[in-house]
Structure 1
Amino acid sequence: MNIDMIRAAAKRLDGHARRTPILTSPFLDEIAGRRVFVKAECLQHTGSFKFRGGWSAVSALGENARKAGVIAFSSGNHAQGVALAARAHHAPAVIVMPADAPAIKIDNTRALGAEVVLYDRATEDRNEIGARLAKDRGLVLIKPFDEPLVIAGQGTCGLEIAADMTAQGVTDADVVVCCGGGGLTSGIALALAADAPGLRARPAEPEGFDDVTRSLVSGRIERNAKVAGSICDAIITPAPGTLTFPIMQDHCGPGIVVSEDECLRATGLAFERLKIVLEPGGAAALAAALFHPDEFSQDAVVAVATGGNVDPDIFSRALDTLS
């Protein structure tokens, strides 16, 4: 992985991905005790940053590979990103999804033309299922985070953050990223190191699924004891990737662990103050910025709002935190 791959992905994404805005609110600044800038990737195609990586990977395939089709495994956001990119490139897509993924994510993936294969994440291995289907059907596997072309696509978000924050005169700040396997975090970290070295990427994870935070402390890849059981489903992974972890070791600051309640409160506040819809996993970075002030020393923090594909009942719970 290198910055040249990210810049190449940016060229392939030009005219296809949205350049998402940086949003602010004086009310959020007051809660955090510093300026808070929110990179609204929930406004990206398919409702999350995952479209960037999906398009980057599919657009780089040769004609024969596209005709054969692609396969991906995901709890929903990578699924939709790959499905939309595959449809645009006239490539068949098979998506392996956990049966307990939010219904809206499963329904949207099917609506985008992909074949959805459901599995039980507590008893079945999605890697094994994906590898078997890829071999049996001759499909190209596009991993959700531990894949260079996907990391490169996600890194384009970091290029935008670097340019936009420089334009606003912010040259020293932590950039907090909702983190699962580390594809977005490592991509942003590489982009910032090249274009805005005063900005530092930091992963945000939910309690009980803080594998990246613990791995950065121990210096080796740590695994989560559980693989399910959090409303932050979008950022639940067993462990950081073998490609992403070394990048995060080299370029990221310490991780920040947030609670589910904090993610729900951040989701509610994002709707109330920024008029955007987030899912709990996509609000983890904002939760860190708002409710963990002692983690930061600069007068500004950037929070990447990574996704907005939330089920209505969970969103209702988030809105209840405002009362």
Structure 2
Amino acid sequence: MRLVTIDDIRTAAGRIAGTAIRTPLLEQQWADQGPLWLKAENLQGIGAFKIRGAYNAVAALPEPARQRGVVAYSSGNHAQAAAVAAKRFGIPAVIVVPDSTPRVKVEATAAHGAEVVEVPIGERESAAYALAEERGLTLIPPFDHPDVIAGQGTIGLEIAEDLPDVEVVLIPVSGGGLASGIGTAIRALCPDAKVFGVEPELAADTAEGLRTGSRVDWPVDDRARTIADGLRSQPSELTFAHLREVLDGVVTVSEDEIRAAVRVLATRAHLVAEPSGATAAAAYLFHREQLPVGRTVAVVSGGNIDPALLASILG
């Protein structure tokens, strides 16, 4: 199995330039548990990091395949990313989402011109494969693809360029594409830095898998319990192979800690983060004893939170 390299990530950076925003690395003066910077991927045009991997994967397709169109499955943010990438290239896009996806994400995906198909959460992947075969579309998966991983890795490239002496990098983990890509870049460019994944306790399949040495399968209903709707997937063979190579460990955070991190990011950092995007900050806020001391970057992976949920968390 070939793993993504720093050269793949540099190639991806060239492809996505002008489409994905180079997001700021924001030093937090309020942070009292050690130096903290936030990589604000919630400021991407679609509100999340996913545009990087989706656009890179679509841009890398041979022209005939790209013109036939693409299909993707997602809990929301990859859905928007694939829709935007397809729109940029003027090609058809069909997006399969769980019927539990927050409406704000479904509506945003449809607004970009994609056809949205809602199915039960356990059927989204099989439905996407069926549509790909039926309509001759190319599947752009949310994480299980080298070009998607390389696109997400451009975040790590930017962190290394903006803070070359970074010592700790905290990254949300779901399907593992984000942590695989960022971790690959940090390992290559900042080899002394420690890289940690962060998962909800209610969807901690990666933590268990790395602890036991092999990928594990948590039931969909178990993973669906967490408020972090973007972190309900689990790694593929490809991403798990990357995670084994690039992560120094995984920190798990509780539902209350995730909610508290959303509040802190909103009131202290002035950033709107969805629960999934706040998990890395939650690790910094509540689990410093599990982490090395030093200059820390927490990736705020997305900000597409339902307004009613945000109001309830802040209230």
| TM > 0.5 fold call | yes
> Match of 2:101?
101
Q: Any idea what the Cα deviations from partners look like across 1:217-255, whole Å, max 9, x if unmatched?
A: 111001223242221001111x31111111111111110
Paired letter, 1:16 = T
What is the aligned counterpart of 1:301 among 296, 303, 308? 296
Q: Any idea what the Cα deviations from partners look like across 1:110-165, whole Å, max 9, x if unmatched?
A: 001110000111xx422211111000000000110011110010000000011111
Does the alignment pair 1:282 with 2:277? Answer: yes
Does the alignment pair 1:184 with 2:178? Answer: yes
Separation of aligned partners in 2, 1:77 and 1:41: 12
Separation of aligned partners in 2, 1:43 and 1:282: 11
C-alpha contact (below 8 Å) 1:189/1:200 kept by paired residues? no
Gapped regions of structure 1 (runs ≥ 5): none
C-alpha contact (below 8 Å) 1:175/1:301 kept by paired residues? yes
> Match of 1:25?
28
Q: Secondary structure at the match of 2:118?
A: strand
Does the alignment pair 1:314 with 2:312? Answer: no
Q: Secondary structure at the match of 1:217?
A: helix
Shift of 1:49: 0.4
Once superposed, which parts of structure 1, at least 4 consecutive aligned residues long, lie more than 4 Å away?
none
Separation of aligned partners in 2, 1:222 and 1:294: 26
Shift of 1:300: 2.3
Q: Percent identity?
A: 43
Separation of aligned partners in 2, 1:77 and 1:51: 8
Separation of aligned partners in 2, 1:91 and 1:275: 37
Shift of 1:24: 2.4
Does the alignment pair 1:16 with 2:11? Answer: no
Paired letter, 1:108 = A
> Match of 1:228?
224
Gapped regions of structure 2 (runs ≥ 5): none
Q: Secondary structure at the match of 1:125?
A: helix
Paired letter, 1:190 = T
Q: Which moved more, 1:259-268 or 1:91-100?
A: 259-268
C-alpha contact (below 8 Å) 1:96/1:118 kept by paired residues? yes
Q: Secondary structure at the match of 1:215?
A: helix
Does the alignment pair 1:145 with 2:140? Answer: no
Paired letter, 1:84 = V
Shift of 1:26: 2.3
> Match of 1:131?
129
Does the alignment pair 1:88 with 2:88? Answer: yes
C-alpha contact (below 8 Å) 1:207/1:257 kept by paired residues? yes
> Match of 2:63?
63
> Match of 1:255?
250
Separation of aligned partners in 1, 2:11 and 2:232: 29
Q: Secondary structure at the match of 1:45?
A: coil
C-alpha contact (below 8 Å) 1:206/1:284 kept by paired residues? yes
> Match of 1:196?
190
Separation of aligned partners in 2, 1:314 and 1:198: 39
Paired letter, 1:19 = R
C-alpha contact (below 8 Å) 1:24/1:274 kept by paired residues? no
TM-score (norm 2): 0.96
Does the alignment pair 1:118 with 2:118? Answer: yes
C-alpha contact (below 8 Å) 2:28/2:38 kept by paired residues? no
Q: Secondary structure at the match of 2:203?
A: coil
Aligned residues: 310
Shift of 1:199: 1.9
Q: Secondary structure at the match of 2:197?
A: strand
Cα distance change of structure 1 residues 191 and 178 upon mapping to structure 2, 3 Å threshold: same
Alignment of 1:205-220 (within 5 A): 205-220=199-214
Shift of 1:276: 1.2
Paired letter, 1:153 = G
Q: Secondary structure at the match of 2:104?
A: helix
C-alpha contact (below 8 Å) 1:66/1:90 kept by paired residues? no
Shift of 1:74: 0.2
Q: Any idea what the Cα deviations from partners look like across 1:56-111, whole Å, max 9, x if unmatched?
A: 01111122112210000001000001100110001110000001111000000000
C-alpha contact (below 8 Å) 2:168/2:294 kept by paired residues? no
Separation of aligned partners in 2, 1:260 and 1:223: 21
C-alpha contact (below 8 Å) 2:265/2:271 kept by paired residues? yes
Q: Secondary structure at the match of 2:237?
A: coil
Shift of 1:309: 0.3
Paired letter, 1:20 = T
C-alpha contact (below 8 Å) 1:208/1:224 kept by paired residues? no
Q: Secondary structure at the match of 2:71?
A: strand
> Match of 2:7?
4
Shift of 1:6: 0.8
> Match of 2:235?
240
Separation of aligned partners in 1, 2:41 and 2:211: 28
Separation of aligned partners in 1, 2:45 and 2:54: 11
